[in-house]
Structure 1
């Protein structure tokens, strides 16, 4: 009997195993099944971190660190609301439902392990909970198993728990070779997708100067990085430490340096939160450009049925500007602000009509006709909304300390503390549901802006600097802040004397005379001298400064390029990877590599693209992954067929399908 001929295969390499890859695998299976191609598809997923969770959401990290979205707002499996996908569709629970379905087993497992913290979290967990990252990692792991189990027999996933060091072209047939740490052979595939998520960068000139100053004077310095991975032991108990930044990295830092060092929070009879120090905490003095923490996450369901988008959509932009190049601040911000304000007032008139003095239809008609920023809008709002607290003020929302000056450090501290407490209370109170409508409108506006950017509609400066700079920063500050309870904790820490607020416009200098880091603020006359400095922010994606070996080697060969444009004679860059309309990596010479693709935080224009879906919202995340899966399968289909046995198999047989 003659031997059975080897069956040709198609193959794909995926660098990164986080939530985006998890969703992509679902869509790859469906697209492959619908293609009618009988050639098996081998998918090689390479990542040293947890399958489905990746680095950021991996289980092995500080158990005190949380996600910053409510459990009810997180899913990586499509629900019944999701439409427009290639069949078959693997539908499944979001995070909140998954914990509810597995509550007894999870609690029992935690009890057997003696993990009281996890057991208490599981038992108290509900849709409004902000889940610990290690519990969320179990949801992602379960979703990964569901996804692999549901793949058609012809799609086989091979998992490599390693780091990719290089990616090269085969000189004969153009296939792609992934070079993995600790292996002499390579993984040969037809096409590759980079979906690496968050990466580290090398210290820039400012960080290097601060590190050198700290070494010379025996000080502590912590440069930007992922807080769960940083060594904070250099920050000594009782030492004065200046913290630059008040976003999510700052919140995680504070958690690790307080509760993580043995301090305890307790509820007082009046409902307030009190912090009991362990004595091992440093004294933290913090400020930033805004001088206030990111706005609290909304602690109730966001308003729906707001008719979004209304004032800011691709159609309204086209009608107003035609095919002209658009400036995000000058041209689009007035439309964005009107979209946010319109959602605010629609929710106010719909849900809280007793706080208004006009009929909702009359207000909406007059508001829709008038340009944002006009006297007509101002007069309309003043007449129809008597309480200034019910009015939408984007300048105050963005920069609440602008044009304010305190006479002392104590006054500045109390002003920021008061702002923090009022913000937390307001964004946890459905009586202020127009704030939630603004967040919903901002999510809509982000999608519209991303579409305009992807279509090449923005001018050079906006495309290079504003999308992933000012715009992403505003979006994160308003819509992606910490859970409300974290702000309660910051308030308790401030009242316990562990945390001091310095205000806006923070400046820190390395003072050789005093041998300290000296901080001052635009909010008051005070100064702080400290023996420690923490730059509490995530690394900004920058291809020139990445410490990732793979991207560095690709950049050095000209195989990738950073988003760079000319604005007159100035060359502008946002440091992120450039891809074409098919998500293919663009090389230095401007050509797109036919077999290399990229998506995620390091891709220009995708800085705030979500890795999760919000259940019940027909999330675009799944359709985006569906389109990307189609492009990847096209690339593997167009590649020369490889005989069976030429593709390297997995390091982890247990995860092979």
Structure 2
């Protein structure tokens, strides 16, 4: 309450009698996990009374889908799994989030599952995505119940198709023609669909998602080709096997096998590398446990930024990253084969010797053929395996069986999986180096086309059960993935079939699914709002000089930047629309690790608080005018 005490009469004037609460209109466009994080922060700050007491916050949340869920739909099949273990998912901030002292207590996905179901739950399990959808929707309702009186939340079940700015007000229009005047805007939309060309739409060429569209029209007598061997392919395979009545089971030797329903098509999957993503290892870490870099530290990166301004990833950063990976691999190997004391002695020495002495140190403990070898991870296929299709297929089976065996040992106990987990654990440091064009243009291109595909294959693969399912489907004759490396495809107008030219053979298919998550550039997205913002000059694509990795251009404070280089201080962008200026945005918040998703949301809501409080504070002249009016 603004008060004035007259020195002579000692009476108090309450300005709220003359000045009613100031209505602040705020838009959150996109109510998936990123929009949910913004809402959570606004409510946390409001409950902590960080906003000026003379304001009311009217929050319009625009999303045609169930609020909170984003792309995690409630009607998904049970066999479609979240690719993150339950204990590593949350929507609530915590005290590890740097700079934030305002916390709303709430359960992680795993804790919510414990209350939601009567049976015991596994914190390290991968649960159905439909359950994650329910958790996210529950989280939205939970936050609404916690909102104080100054926060008025209004869901708008419409897509936003345009936004324009006049002075400090944003004019937002939804698909049904309704218009909203907003003081502040948060753009937090998620994954978008690619726009198929007319000739593509007329063929049986699909993006993987939505899965019910890409897979529903496929007949059992047909051949389907999947371009990709990653997470999306796991989803498509699940839809075309388990989703059609097939069953996986374990034989007496505990090897996973497949019993066909006879409704499955013949499936061919291929990728540039010729390899599926590596299986995620059994988790042996606590929710808050991460490897802390010894070499790729924030200080080391800061020193490189100061020295070079723009960093060359392959030259300046990759050697530090590989030192961390080799350190973890070697220490884990030595502990496994020589015990804890030997591993500790090695670790102490490795972290203190000179760079050129580390290799000789490793030789003292580990046979040469078992050393950490980055090149073998980048190119694991030996030359002899590419001599024929039979040799490649046999090698691939052995490779996948070994991958499952390593994954079963765990991400702490197995040397290779522990080293690959470093790529996940130090991702925030990698972001610190890359974000906002931190790399040279040529290095940024190399990262995008060379490093990220390898990182994805090694560190963000599916649960190990999915690799076992691939092996079982291969053995059952349902799935074929032995086309080799760098296959190419084209559409044959004469036969009306897709032709896949593999390294060893050419195969034709009735249907082709681009089995990957679409990441169209904003100007090619199906999102009308993104295209309108760019076309009308309120936004521009992000470029590192001449390289456009993707996404909208934003300031380091996440503010939208116009074509004319105007930074909109009252318009923030988070998540997928910033993939380009930011690195690896498509993640769910993780508890107790200063999650970048939670940290970014906290920063922009703190900026919102500062701007609202600065505007709502009356000037000294306004204060005195009210005093005299009171007299």
Task: Give the TM-score of the pair, scaled to structure 1.
Answer: 0.83
Aligned to 1:47: 63
Q: Is the 8 A contact 1:560 1:586 kept in 2?
A: yes
Partner of 1:495: 475
Between 1:547-556 and 1:534-543, the stretch displaced more is 534-543
Q: What SS is found at the alignment partner of 2:111?
A: helix
For residues 245 and 230 of structure 1, the distance between their equivalents in structure 2, rounded to whole angstroms, comes to 18
Q: 1:592 to 1:27 in 2, by over 3 A?
A: same
Superposition map of 1:137-156 within 5 A? 137-156=133-152
1:34 deviates by 4.1
SS at structure 2 position matched to 1:12? strand
Unpaired runs of 5+ in structure 1? 105-122, 215-219, 642-657
1:484 aligns with 2:464: yes
CA distance, structure 1, for counterparts of residue 289 and residue 327 of structure 2: 13
Q: For each residue in 1:526-578, what CA deviation from the matched residue of structure 2 results, as whole angstroms up to 9, or x when unmatched? A: 33232332221111230221111111111111211111233xxxx32113111
Q: Please state whether the residue corresponding to 2:470 is helix, strand or coil.
A: helix
The match for 1:178 is: 172
Counterpart among 302, 311, 318 of residue 333 in structure 1: 318
Give the drift of 1:491. Answer: 1.3
* Structure 1 residues 307 and 49, CA gap change in structure 2 (3 angstroms): closer
Counterpart check, 1:590 vs 2:565: yes
Q: Deviations over 1:338-380 (max 9, x none)?
A: 122222223344x425279966434543465444xx6x54443
Tell me which of 97, 105, 110 is aligned to 1:91: 105
Tell me whether 1:262 sits opposite 2:262 in the alignment. Answer: no
Q: Deviations over 1:296-326 (max 9, x none)?
A: 1121223887761210123113445743121
For residue 524 of structure 2, give the secondary structure of its aligned residue in structure 1: coil
- The answer for unaligned runs of 5 or more in structure 2 is 1-16, 618-631
Name the residue aligned to 2:91: 76
1:332-371 to structure 2, matched below 5 A, reads 332-349=317-334, 351-352=335-336, 354=338, 360-362=344-346, 364-366=348-350, 369-371=353-355
SS in 1 for 2:92: coil
TM-score (norm 2): 0.86
Q: CA RMSD in A?
A: 3.0
Inter-CA distance 559–388: structure 2 relative to 1 (3 Å threshold): same
Aligned match for 1:63, one of 62, 73, 78: 78
Deviations 1:203-255 (A, max 9, x none): 36xxx66656x4xxxxx322x34243533234321322221101111110111
Distance change >3 Å, CA 150–CA 342, structure 1 → 2 = same
Is the contact between residue 437 and residue 544 of structure 2 (CA under 8 Å) also seen in structure 1?
no
Alpha-carbon distance change, 439 to 43 in structure 1, aligned in 2, over 3 angstroms: farther
Tell me what 1:449 maps to: 430
Give the one of 25, 28, 32 matched to 1:14: 28
Residue of structure 2 equivalent to 1:202: 195
**Alpha-carbon separation, structure 2, partners of 1:127 and 1:451:** 29
Deviation at 1:46, TM superposition (A): 0.7
Change (3 A) 1:432 1:366: closer
Q: Distance in 1 between matches of 2:333 and 2:259?
A: 40
1:622 is matched with which residue?
Answer: 598
Structure showing greater Rg: 2
Other-structure match for 1:543:
522
Number of residue pairs aligned between Structure 1 and Structure 2: 596
1:310 paired with 2:288, answer no
Greater relative CO (CA pairs within 8 A, separation 6+): 1
Q: Secondary structure at the match of 2:364?
A: helix
Task: Quote the offset at 1:164 in angstroms.
Answer: 0.6
- Alpha-carbon contact 1:191-1:636 (below 8 Å) kept: no
CA distance in 1, matches of 2:180, 2:378: 48
Match of 2:44 among 26, 30, 35: 30
Distance 1:412 1:456, change over 3 A: closer
Verify the 8 A CA contact 2:246 2:259 in the aligned structure 1: yes
SS at match of 1:384: coil
